[in-house]
Chain A
Amino acid sequence: MSFDVKHITYRYTPKGKTVLDDVTFTIGEGQITAVVGPSGSGKTTLVNVLSGVIPALEQNGVLEGELDFGSDALVSVVSQTPEDQLFGYGVEDAIAFGVENMGISSEEISDRIEYVLDLLNLQYLRKRSVAALSGGQRQAVCIASVLAMKPDILIMDEPVSSLDPNGKNMVRGILNQLKADGTTVLIVDNNLDWSAGIVDKVMGLDNGKIVFDGLRDDFFRDFPLQETLGVTIPQEVEIYRALSSLTDDIGMFYNMRGAERELDKIFEKRTEELTDNSETSDDPYITVHQLNKFFEDGYHALKDINAAFPKGKVVAIMGQNGSGKTTLVKHLNGIYKPTTGDVRFMGESILKKTVAQISRNIILVFQHPEHMLFEQTVRAEISFCAKMHGLEFSPEKVDEVLKKYDLYDDAETFPVNLSMGKKHLLTILSVLFSSSDVIILDEPTLGMDLLIKNQLEDIIRGLRDAGKTVIIISHEIPLVFRNADEAIILNKSEKIYYGTIKDLALRDDIFEFINISLPPVVQLSKRYNFDKVCFNVEEFKEEAQKLLGKRGEEE
């Protein structure tokens, strides 16, 4: 059996733009299909059509075409914010909510709850409250609540966008189980880096039209299309793309196991151990001294933290959710006051200053841009920090920045109406007009497609070149390694590493301890006889070229 989407065309108003244009495809039963496309390509509208939100809840639009799913097919959705979708105080209440709405007997509800808890290995959570769950656990419970309804198609809308590596692993594990169970799943996400090993098919949308509908491996071979759609692909695929231009001796790979299998054919394994003598800079903007934080409920959120954030460097703070990363940066800009210890900017304690006063030197950009946007236009929003800090700014400079980052056409738009990625970019751009020497970015890639992520990396490099310090919290480890000079790693409220990123790349023990994987370029350049450890694909390609050149000469 298959589910056919036939010639779907949709406009939000009769005379409005065509958001979906003659979309026709088939969802194979028991398959996992990824729907990809840049912001504004029509992915969310497609989810709304497939799930029946259009026309049930949004009735002003014009919908044409047909969904051939069978008369009583059930399509349900797991959204990117499970907290908005879990209706119940306890895990059992939340899972039962959907099945209770179906009017089936208490015994059957009970059977279905047991089934999904067993299927997803969630029995250990059943007596917990939803509020006490981690992000990954909430997403897992959300999936369980939808699965209990026995949907014919399960749609997952950016299911890991706000999860840490542990959460991503949990969702990946669940998807593997669903695949084995024969569940039909549609993943709507422009990030394929976490799901590459699971999806069977990829469907690409651009400007409301289907531009690709085929097997995963075929998609991974179509490099220009990946770039056009702004899809974040696994770094392994990027490596394959780079190396396939140098040699024909390797086959396609999209995960570490495949990469090792293929690269073993062309590179010799490293024989000598790598060492690193790089040292951290000793000219800091911010220093943290014996910082301890106890919250009202007695939780010891930070334990004896000492750290320094040097001038003109990018410092990454890494760790799983709950390790204390956000708590630490909220001390750096004065939102939290330490229980004991001190935070100093240029040697002077900031503890007696207000957050607004500190922002003249240290500014924190929050995870969710919607907490920060309240001006009437994008143009006004971008200069908000300058106005707050009493700084002069020229309209020409504002226009220049808007043009550079593709926001000029949206200059008079209400900021809240921008896509999530653009909203986030806007809040980050506004700090360019501030007087701050230290810019803290907390999960800055949230909602960004690859094109906007590239712009973000450009901003980070620009700030560093201007002598500013950038502190970045991110679960996107490849991005961190591409941009950071130094790193702090937190685990369970304690600092377990502070040093250069080059030194950190050699510390497999730390990454194993915190259960985070090093980027593939780092792992592979360490595995093979490269002259140095690589932090991005360009470096990796150069080093590979050298080795392949040597091999060619020898032959």
Chain B
Amino acid sequence: MRYLTYVDKDTFLHKLDPRTKFVFLIVMAVLTSVVKTAWALAFLLVFFLILWISAGVMKEMAFLAKQLKAIMIFLLILWFILGMFQEPQVEGPVFLRTEVLGIKICIDWYDIYKGFASALRLYLMVSSFFTVLISTNFSEIILGLSKWHFPYSLSYGIGLVFQVIPIVISELNTIMEAESSRGLEIEQCKWTTKIKNYLIFAVPLFFRVLNKGHAISLGMHYYKLNFNVKRTSYKTIKPTVRDLIFALVTLVAVAGTIVLHVLFYIPLI
């Protein structure tokens, strides 16, 4: 797994104008911030599942779910424990009502619902970002932002970050392998030792990153990159029918999500 970097495929999602995907990202960020109803979020998840299957990125999104598993379980447990000490806020089945050492405990469906809705929201928020990231390479990101009249230095800087992050992660992995090959125990050790080891790895990683940064700045000089000079562009982008269809489908999904949110609205207290 290449740490959720761009996945090179030839699907409709990959072929979209990057600006369409940026708009999609903004809309989804707002939508998942506003919508808190489990049914609406479940509907949105179905939309995303169809999107991921058709873009051939299910494996990557399953990997993302695996990475977020711990924090999603934490949210489920957190809401469950907080809810245990409250009387039911919304009508519905109560599974257990008891008293321990004078403390009233009530386990009802709403305690589970809140945790489920929160975990789903978190996953959809993060995955909408990664849906765009794994289907848009850094050259397209730079091109898309430039066409939106972002200063080239800013567009280039953002694109460079997405180019460099996988390199840094790969360097860290190699450093860990190299040091363990020389006898540094990183597998069977206490967590305190693990933390200490990461500090040890930070030294060579720091110098590797410095070297990379230096090499990149030399490269920029060799290519006469000057942010004060107007650049021209080899490739051009413009929205097509594909973008229009995608926008319409997204619109329908957003509308459906909002309708379900209104119909089944239950406040998260």
Interface residues of A (CB under 8 A from B): 51-53, 56-57, 74, 76-77, 79, 81, 83-85, 87-90, 92-93, 96-106, 109-110, 113, 129, 131-132, 145-146, 149, 296, 330, 333, 335, 354-357, 359-360, 363-366, 368, 370-374, 384-385, 388-389, 416, 430-431, 434
Instruction: Give the residue name and chain of the B residue nearest to A78 (CB).
Output: B222
> Assuming A79-B218, A354-B187, is B232 touching A359 (CB within 8 A)?
no
Are A385 and B140 closer than 8 Å at their CB atoms? no
A373 to B179, CA, bound (A): 9
Please tell me which one of the listed residues A296, A354, A360 contacts residue B188 in the complex, with CB atoms under 8 A apart: A354
Please tell me which one of the listed residues A105, A145, A333 contacts residue B181 in the complex, with CB atoms under 8 A apart: A333
Are B182 and A372 closer than 8 Å at their CB atoms? yes
Answer whether residue B8 sits at the interface, using C-beta atoms and an 8 A cutoff. Answer: yes
B217 to chain A, nearest CB (A): 7
Are A103 and B232 closer than 8 Å at their CB atoms? yes
> Assuming A89-B137, A90-B139, A354-B185, is B234 touching A99 (CB within 8 A)?
yes
Please tell me which one of the listed residues A79, A129, A370 contacts residue B207 in the complex, with CB atoms under 8 A apart: A370
Q: Nearest 4 A-B pairs (CB), nearest first?
A: A388-B183, A84-B215, A89-B137, A96-B234
What are 28 contact pairs spanning A and B, CB under 8 A? A51-B222, A76-B223, A79-B219, A83-B167, A85-B219, A87-B223, A89-B137, A97-B223, A98-B222, A101-B223, A103-B229, A103-B232, A109-B233, A132-B8, A354-B180, A355-B187, A356-B186, A366-B177, A370-B207, A373-B204, A374-B200, A374-B203, A374-B204, A388-B183, A389-B183, A416-B207, A430-B182, A434-B183
Are A363 and B139 closer than 8 Å at their CB atoms? no
Are B183 and A356 closer than 8 Å at their CB atoms? yes
- Most chain A CB within 10 A, of B175, B222, B235, is at B222
- Most chain B CB within 10 A, of A90, A97, A371, A373, is at A371
Mark out the residues of chain B between 207 and 225 whose CB falls within 8 Å of any chain A CB in the assembled complex: 207-208, 211-212, 215-225
Complex contacts, A132 vs chain B, CB 8 Å: 8
Complex contacts, A356 vs chain B, CB 8 Å: 180, 183-187
Are A100 and B222 closer than 8 Å at their CB atoms? no
> Assuming A93-B139, A103-B231, is B212 touching A84 (CB within 8 A)?
yes
B173 to chain A, nearest CB (A): 10
A374 to B220, CA, bound (A): 29
Are B179 and A372 closer than 8 Å at their CB atoms? yes
Are A106 and B234 closer than 8 Å at their CB atoms? yes
Complex contacts, A330 vs chain B, CB 8 Å: 177
Complex contacts, B204 vs chain A, CB 8 Å: 370-374
Are A57 and B223 closer than 8 Å at their CB atoms? no
> Assuming A360-B183, A371-B174, A371-B208, is B230 touching A145 (CB within 8 A)?
no
Answer whether residue B116 sits at the interface, using C-beta atoms and an 8 A cutoff. Answer: no
Are B183 and A359 closer than 8 Å at their CB atoms? yes
Complex contacts, A354 vs chain B, CB 8 Å: 180, 185-188
A493 to B222, CA, bound (A): 38
Answer whether residue B138 sits at the interface, using C-beta atoms and an 8 A cutoff. Answer: yes
A299 to chain B, nearest CB (A): 13
Instruction: Give the residue name and chain of the A residue nearest to B8 (CB).
Output: A129
Please tell me which one of the listed residues A57, A97, A364 contacts residue B217 in the complex, with CB atoms under 8 A apart: A57
> Assuming A103-B231, A371-B174, A371-B208, is B218 touching A89 (CB within 8 A)?
no
A57 to B163, CA, bound (A): 23
Are A88 and B139 closer than 8 Å at their CB atoms? yes
A146 to B212, CA, bound (A): 19
A371 to chain B, nearest CB (A): 4
Are B232 and A100 closer than 8 Å at their CB atoms? yes
Complex contacts, A53 vs chain B, CB 8 Å: 218, 221
Answer whether residue B236 sits at the interface, using C-beta atoms and an 8 A cutoff. Answer: yes
A434 to B184, CA, bound (A): 12
A431 to B181, CA, bound (A): 11
Complex contacts, B182 vs chain A, CB 8 Å: 359, 363, 372, 384-385, 388, 430-431, 434
Complex contacts, B6 vs chain A, CB 8 Å: 89
Besides A84-B216, A106-B232, A356-B184, 7 other CB < 8 A contacts? Answer: A87-B220, A89-B138, A100-B232, A355-B181, A356-B185, A357-B188, A366-B177
A84 to B220, CA, bound (A): 10
B59 to chain A, nearest CB (A): 9
Complex contacts, B231 vs chain A, CB 8 Å: 100-101, 103
Complex contacts, A113 vs chain B, CB 8 Å: 234
Mark out the residues of chain B between 149 and 175 whose CB falls within 8 Å of any chain A CB in the assembled complex: 160, 163, 167, 171, 174-175
Please tell me which one of the listed residues A57, A74, A97, A355 contacts residue B218 in the complex, with CB atoms under 8 A apart: A57
Complex contacts, B220 vs chain A, CB 8 Å: 87
A525 to chain B, nearest CB (A): 38
Answer whether residue B226 sits at the interface, using C-beta atoms and an 8 A cutoff. Answer: yes
B171 to chain A, nearest CB (A): 8
Are A92 and B229 closer than 8 Å at their CB atoms? no
Complex contacts, A88 vs chain B, CB 8 Å: 139
Are B222 and A85 closer than 8 Å at their CB atoms? yes
A370 to B204, CA, bound (A): 7
> Assuming A132-B8, A371-B208, is B183 touching A101 (CB within 8 A)?
no
Please tell me which one of the listed residues B179, B208, B221 contacts residue A56 in the complex, with CB atoms under 8 A apart: B221
Are B221 and A366 closer than 8 Å at their CB atoms? no
Answer whether residue B96 sits at the interface, using C-beta atoms and an 8 A cutoff. Answer: no
A42 to B219, CA, bound (A): 20
- Most chain B CB within 10 A, of A81, A84, A103, A368, is at A84
> Assuming A84-B215, A92-B234, is B223 touching A385 (CB within 8 A)?
no
